[in-house]
Structure 1
Amino acid sequence: MKLLASLAVAAAAISGSVGSPVDATDASILGGTPSSAGNHGGFYYSWWTDNAAQATYTNLDGGTYSLQWSGNNGNLVGGKGWNPGVSGRVLNYNGTYQPNGNSYLAVYGWTRNALIEYYVVESYGTYDPSSAAQRKGTVTCNGANYDILSTWRYNQPSIDGTKTFEQFWSVRNPKKAYGGAISGSVDTRCHFDAWSRVGMRLGSQHNYQIVATEGYGSSGSARLTVS
């Protein structure tokens, strides 16, 4: 599931479905909220951390979650959405996003058959994820321009254990401004169809599909409502 590291410094990408399906609402041990995944407030949530940062993930009412992280160390990602994902869903988000360093705000998910990890990046901190992947084209969705990219992960953790798999990316260009209030909509069909047109075909079986906040070697905070 996690990835900032995979493009920034080719570090590990760990599946967000790894972890027991428990409520991450109030657990805070070893300096942060332990990894977990499951259902909360009528939504699916996924939270993962490598425990290298001080990170607190909290599930709030409905589709709302909050995340605070610090320490400028480690990799973490969490958010709310649905499981399974679908190819025609429009995901809406609004709230606040305040990264300090390397971070993403993205629609994030996985498919099987084939095993694919995907991101639609709406905003990011100091690292542009399109700088280290193979550019395949562009697409305009919801009135915004996105760069289409792909890259491979070799023998890395995934939702199905250690595997080799491809990553698909749409990166908004220019990114949404961060540092305070942020909102938007992501039409997955627009992106998935654009990917298919350039030969990037998702698997036939969707796993989870969430609006995620990710951090790598950074600090920051987010409070977002997904609908």
Structure 2
Amino acid sequence: MVSFSSLFVAIAAVSGAYAAPANVTEGFELMARAGTPSSSGTNNGYFYSWWTDGAGTATYTNNAGGQYTLTWSGNNGNLVGGKGWNPGTNTRVINYSGTYNPNGNSYLAVYGWTRSPLIEYYVVESYGSFNPSSAAAKKGSVTCNGASYDILQTTRTNQPSIDGTQTFQQFWSVRNPKKNPGGAISGTVDTGCHFTAWKNVGMNLGTNHNYQIVATEGYFSSGTATITVS
């Protein structure tokens, strides 16, 4: 399995490129870890992706429909999980709701990949103690669904990706101000609004979409999240 490589490592900041977990149906040898093993696949009509480096204690659970629960503790290691679709699209309007309670470095984001070219992207709705936009080059701003977002871009050099170790671009929209964590949270992300804004500043996604999920990530932190995606 390809490990989760983060912006904490790359630029001492928020998480960066995390690779698609190997699908257990494709011969992935499950490694012993605290909590649930890394995996991806389908559940109740949704694609899910879950990865942990095993350094902390974490449990990812697929619930009914588009809901998942993630708990993590130990203030150690890196983990990410969420539900959505595979493949993603350029026009999907994503709704999410639930609870998000991070303690430390974490974020809640629409997250995905494209190929041709290989691009990793994030629409960050909320985050814990670190603002990811402070560690990337700002390219502009956009208003989507009545909220303002900073548009940012970073480069990952020889890092894990859905296609193995590669050099690729990361595209970001970071909500400003963020939705406050620490309890109930909900919102709508019009991916087409963000993707068009990125294109307008010269940030072009690939023509071939891979997965597109609402992800909860934790890095050397702890917390809980129960999120429903639709």
Shared fold per TM-score greater than 0.5: yes
Root mean square deviation of aligned Cα: 1.9
1:95 aligned residue (92, 95, 98): 98
Q: Which residue of 2 aligns with 1:226?
A: 229
Q: Write the deviation string for residues 177-226 of structure 1: whole angstroms up to 9, x where unpaired.
A: 11000000000000000000000000000000000000001000000000
CA contact (8 A) 1:117 1:166 kept: yes
CA deviation map 1:94-136 (0-9, x unaligned): 0000000000000000000000000000000001000010000
The equivalent position to 2:177 in structure 1, one of 164, 174, 178, is: 174
C-alpha distance in structure 1 between counterparts of 2:152 and 2:16, whole Å: 19
Correspondence 1:192-211 to 2 at 5 A: 192-211=195-214
Whole-angstrom CA distance in 2 between matches of 1:31 and 1:202: 35
Is residue 183 from structure 1 mapped to residue 201 from structure 2 by the alignment? Answer: no
Asked if 1 retains the 8 angstrom alpha-carbon contact of 2:21 and 2:49, the reply is yes
Q: Give the corresponding residue for 1:37.
A: 40
1:121 to 120, 124, 143: 124
The CA deviation at 1:31 is 1.8
* 2:148 match: secondary structure: strand
Structure 2 alignment gaps of length 5 or more: none
Q: Does 1:140 align with 2:143?
A: yes
Which residue of structure 2 aligns with residue 68 of structure 1? Answer: 71
Displacement of 1:13 in angstroms is 3.2
Post-superposition shift, 1:10?
Answer: 8.2
For residue 17 of structure 2, the aligned residue among 1, 13, 20 is: 13
**Post-superposition shift, 1:30?**
3.2
**Alignment partners' CA distance in 2, 1:195 and 1:208:** 19
Equivalent-residue separation in structure 2 for 1:90 and 1:54 (angstroms): 33
Q: Which one-letter code corresponds to 1:144 in the other structure? A: A
User: 2 CA distance for matches of 1:93 and 1:2?
Assistant: 26
The percentage of aligned residue pairs carrying the same residue is 68
Secondary structure at the residue paired with 2:160? strand
Checking the alignment, whether the CA contact within 8 Å between 1:111 and 1:203 is kept in structure 2 is yes
1:215 aligns with 2:218: yes
Query: In the comparison of the two structures, how many residue pairs are matched?
Result: 223
Greater than 6 Å deviation, 4+ residue runs: none
C-alpha contact 1:84 1:208 (8 A) present in aligned 2:
yes
Check conservation: 1:4, 1:103, Cα contact below 8 A: no
1:131 equivalent in alignment to 2:134: yes
- Paired letter, 2:18: I
State the TM-score, normalizing by the size of structure 1. Answer: 0.93
Aligned CA distance change for structure 1 residues 10 and 120 (closer, same or farther; 3 Å): closer
Does residue 82 in structure 1 map to residue 85 in structure 2?
yes
Q: Secondary structure at the match of 1:193?
A: helix
Say whether the 8 Å CA contact 2:97–2:185 is kept in structure 1.
Answer: yes
CA distance in 1 between counterparts of 2:149 and 2:163 reads 29
What are the ranges of 5 or more consecutive residues in structure 1 without an aligned counterpart? Answer: none
Contact kept? 1:8, 1:127, Cα under 8 Å: no
Q: TM-score, normalized by length of structure 2?
A: 0.92
Give deviations 1:136-156, integer Å, cap 9, x for gaps: 000000000000000011101
